[in-house]
Amino acid sequence: MEERELFAQYRATHDLALRNEIVGKYLYIASMLAKKFVGRGVEYDDLYQVASLALLKGVDRFDETLGVKFSTFITPTIAGEIKNYFRDRSRLIHLPRRVAELRHTVKQAADKFLTETGRSPTPKELAAELKISEEEVVAAMEPQGVVSLDRPSEDGAGSAYDLIPDPDDAFERIERKDAVQSAMKCLDEREREIVSFRFGKEFSQAETAKQLGVSQMYVSRMERKILEKLRENLRKSMAD
Amino acid sequence: MKLMTLEFPLSRDIMTTVRLVTGGVCSLVGFDLESAEDCKVCVTESLLLLLHGGCKTATIEFSKGTALSVLISGEGNGQDGEEMEEEISVALLRALVSDLEMTREGSLTRISFGFGL
């Protein structure tokens, strides 16, 4: 049946079987357009669903008597729905991990910016905020392949979900604590006191100086020295 | 003011590179993320139209005035591609930009559009 005839018949009968036939016939447009918008932080499957619903609504709204082809009519309708969806929600995990983390960071910063200013940020603004280059922001926005969180990871050792760093990973926390405690052994008592005030109790340099009865300059100098000692100690223990 | 001209052999393999460059140009002129993504879609669709038209090479000119103007051209044998895919590409371009111009003269295809700054 010709396109025009098909729509005329559907308009006259509102037969659901006919509507399903039309939707089935043009579902490839939804798929094609969903693919074109992949890489903005939303999974293809979600975009395909949004596009399919837009197609379904479009079939009811299309007027074949206006002389426009259905594909010409439905493309901007679907594109519009997809763009609305982006404004409502966007989240994506990309591999490899570094790209995924960077993309996540860029997305979070963009959301925060949007909330605070009411407008979408430029890559330059994001780069300044995140202290990374504009190129990194732009590259992080570029799709590297969209995957499901449940898809097995490339080494087959788990799912993509397992690769997402847990900000509250107990093992990592224990490891960090152990490394810091071990590194602290290279410090003398006064140095440990300074670390305790500055990084344990989170006192300012001036407050720390007051507690120890020394000048703020002294604390500043000691802090630099201590951090260098700790860094060196951690480097050595990692090399071992 | 002309910002950049890209000339390259046209193939699907080069699309990601062109998208990255387009993203860089959008960053340079201060577009927000959404406009930059839309611009990348428009450049990609234009190149697909050239590919369908049988073009073997393409040129993209980015210019900055009151808008970011993009002129994409290519020469090919004018073979007929997938008609439906072309229709969708054109409809998508029209949905994303308001000043789309497309011409085919002999073997030369030119597509231009602008994004407001």
| Predicted pLDDT at A56 | 93
Of A33, A76, A135, the CB nearest to B24: A135
| Mean pLDDT, range B31-39, rounded to an integer | 87
Residue A21's Cβ-side half-sphere holds a number of Cα atoms within 13 Å equal to 13
| Predicted pLDDT at A84 | 85
- Residues from chain A contacting residue B33 (CB–CB below 8 Å): 110, 120-123, 126, 141
For residue B73, the SS3 value is strand
3-class DSSP string for chain A: CCHHHHHHHHHHHCCHHHHHHHHHHHHHHHHHHHHHCCCCCCCHHHHHHHHHHHHHHHHHHCCHHHCCCHHHHHHHHHHHHHHHHHHHCCCCCECCHHHHHHHHHHHHHHHHHHHHHCCCCCHHHHHHHHCCCHHHHHHHHCCCCECCCCCECCCCCCEHHHHCCCCCCHHHHHHHHHHHHHHHCCCCHHHHHHHHHHHHCCCCHHHHHHHHCCCHHHHHHHHHHHHHHHHHHHHHHHHC
Q: Do B95 and A120 touch (CB under 8 A)?
A: no
| Mean pLDDT, range B81-92, rounded to an integer | 80
C-beta of residue A123 within 8 angstroms of C-beta of residue A138: yes
Q: Do B94 and A76 touch (CB under 8 A)?
A: yes
- Residues from chain B contacting residue A75 (CB–CB below 8 Å): 87-88, 91-92, 95
Chain A residue whose CA is closest to B34: A120
Q: By CB neighbour count within 10 A (0-12 exposed, 13-18 middle, 19+ buried), where does B66 fall? A: exposed
| Predicted pLDDT at A91 | 44
- The Cα–Cα gap between A45 and A34 comes to 8
Find all residues with CB under 8 Å of A74, minimum gap 6, and list them. A26, A29, A54, A55, A58, A62
- Residues from chain B contacting residue A123 (CB–CB below 8 Å): 23, 26-27, 31, 33, 36
The gap from C-alpha A64 to its chain's centroid, in whole angstroms, comes to 42
The alpha carbon of residue B51 is apart from the nearest alpha carbon of chain A, in Å, by: 16
Q: Do A36 and B91 touch (CB under 8 A)?
A: no
| Predicted pLDDT at B68 | 93
Name the one residue in this structure whose structure tokens are 């605070």.
A116
Pairing of strands B108-116, B67-76: antiparallel
Q: pLDDT tens-digit profile of A76-105?
A: 999 999 988 887 764 444 445 556 678 788
Tell me whether A119 touches chain B (CB under 8 Å): yes
Handedness of CA A8, A11, A12, A18 (dihedral sign): positive
**Run of H or E residues at B90:** helix B83-96
| Predicted pLDDT at A170 | 65
**Run of H or E residues at B23:** helix B15-28
Q: Do A37 and B84 touch (CB under 8 A)?
A: no
| Predicted pLDDT at A145 | 47
Domain boundaries, chain B: 2-116
- Sheet strands side by side (includes B101-105): B2-9, B55-64, B67-76, B108-116, B101-105
| Predicted pLDDT at B101 | 93
| Predicted pLDDT at A94 | 40
- The Cα–Cα gap between A215 and A218 comes to 5
Give the pTM: 0.58
Architecture of domain B2-116: 2-Layer Sandwich (3.30)
Q: Establish, for the pair of chains A and B, how many residue pairs have beta carbons separated by less than 8 Å.
A: 75
Find all residues with CB under 8 Å of B70, minimum gap 6, and list them. B39, B42, B43, B46, B60, B61, B62, B63, B112, B113, B114, B115
Of A75, A83, A134, the CB nearest to B27: A134
Q: Do B33 and A123 touch (CB under 8 A)?
A: yes
State the complex-level ipTM: 0.80
Low-confidence ranges of chain A (pLDDT < 70): 1, 41, 89-100, 142-173, 238-240
- Residues from chain A contacting residue B36 (CB–CB below 8 Å): 123, 138, 141
| Predicted pLDDT at B82 | 63
| Mean pLDDT, range B41-53, rounded to an integer | 92
Tell me whether B34 touches chain A (CB under 8 Å): yes
Tell me whether B85 touches chain A (CB under 8 Å): yes
